[in-house]
Amino acid sequence: EVQLLESGGGLVQTGGSLRLSCVASGFTFGSYAMSWVRQAPGKGLEWVSAISGSGANTFYAGSVKGRFTTSRDNYLKTLYLQMNSLTVEDTAVYYCAKDDFYAVVNFDCWGQGTLVTVSS
Amino acid sequence: QSVLTQPPSVSAAPGQKVSISCSGSSSDIGNNFVSWYQQLPGTAPKLLIYDDNKRPSVIPDRFSGSKSATSATLGISGLQTGDEADYYCGTWHSSLGAGVFGGGTKLTVL
């Protein structure tokens, strides 16, 4: 069974940092691009970042570029999201999602989400 | 404001059919595959349609997808109360080099 399990969310102050993790199981992790998608309270889905299967290529939404870094460890089957210079607008549930071979927004598996709350 | 445009809400009676539109541009829908997601309250999104019109094996054929030029449509037939959820379209935006979603459509089954 394909599964994704996020962790690392929590409460952080404005300007702080947090690192999210997403552990994958049930598929050949390194063969698939992975993405982070977030959802602010009561709002819609917002694509945040993607990374190719090898990790060589990363992509970011304009709202997080320069502050967030996505990486992966294919041996540990783990996806990471390093979030720096956090603002209250980053408060959201963060989901990791399994994409296709390429990053094309074809998310056939999602994690349960981890809540990040940024307080001022 | 989302790159892809969806109606905020749609409604229909049980057993009826509803269509949800998703409008974009040549940089996104016009040159990339579209996917659709269902999000039930308090849960993670679930893939309903990928590559414009393909269904994962676990998704019933009441759900269908289509695309024409820079717009895509999700169709849901034989509506059930359990279909009440938020629905999102998504695709890749070639110029931005980023993924994009629609703002979401809340389906109410009256």
* pLDDT tens column, B71-89: 999 999 999 999 999 999 9
- The mean pLDDT value for A90-105 works out to 92
* pLDDT tens column, A75-89: 999 999 999 999 999
The pLDDT confidence band at residue A94, using thresholds 50, 70 and 90, is very high
Contacts of B72 in chain A (CB under 8 A): none
Alpha-carbon distances, residue B57 vs A53, B50, B63 (angstroms): 24, 11, 12
Say whether A112 sits in a helix, a strand or coil. Answer: coil
Higher local confidence (pLDDT), B82 or A101 = B82
Residues of chain B with pLDDT under 50: none
Return d(Cα B18, Cα B15) in angstroms, integer.
Answer: 10
User: Using the beta-carbon criterion (under 8 Å), do A59 and B99 form an inter-chain contact?
Assistant: yes
The pLDDT confidence band at residue A104, using thresholds 50, 70 and 90, is confident
Q: Are strands B9-12 and B105-109 parallel, antiparallel or unpaired?
A: parallel
Bridge partners of residue A3, in order along the sequence? A25
User: Using the beta-carbon criterion (under 8 Å), do B104 and A44 form an inter-chain contact?
Assistant: yes
Whether pLDDT at A16 is above 80:
yes
Contacts of A34 in chain B (CB under 8 A): none
Cα torsion A24, A47, B20, B15: sign? positive
Reduced 3-state DSSP string for B38-106: EECCCCCCEEEEECCCECCCCCCCCEEEEEECCEEEEEECCCCHHHCEEEEEEEEECCCCEEEEECCEE
- Answer whether A55's CB lies under 8 Å from A71's CB: yes
Q: A44 in contact with B at a CB cutoff of 8 Å?
A: yes
Alpha-carbon distances, residue A89 vs A24, A84, A118, B41 (angstroms): 28, 13, 8, 22
CA A5 from chain centre, in angstroms, equals 11
Whether pLDDT at A50 is above 80:
yes
Nearest CA in chain A to B48: A108
User: Using the beta-carbon criterion (under 8 Å), do A62 and B32 form an inter-chain contact?
Assistant: no
Which pLDDT score is estimated for B15? 97
Whether pLDDT at A101 is above 90:
no
Which pLDDT score is estimated for A52? 95
The pLDDT confidence band at residue A105, using thresholds 50, 70 and 90, is very high
- Answer whether A40's CB lies under 8 Å from A46's CB: yes
**Could you please report the per-residue DSSP string of A63-82?**
TTTTTEEEEEETTTTEEEEE
Which pLDDT score is estimated for B24? 97
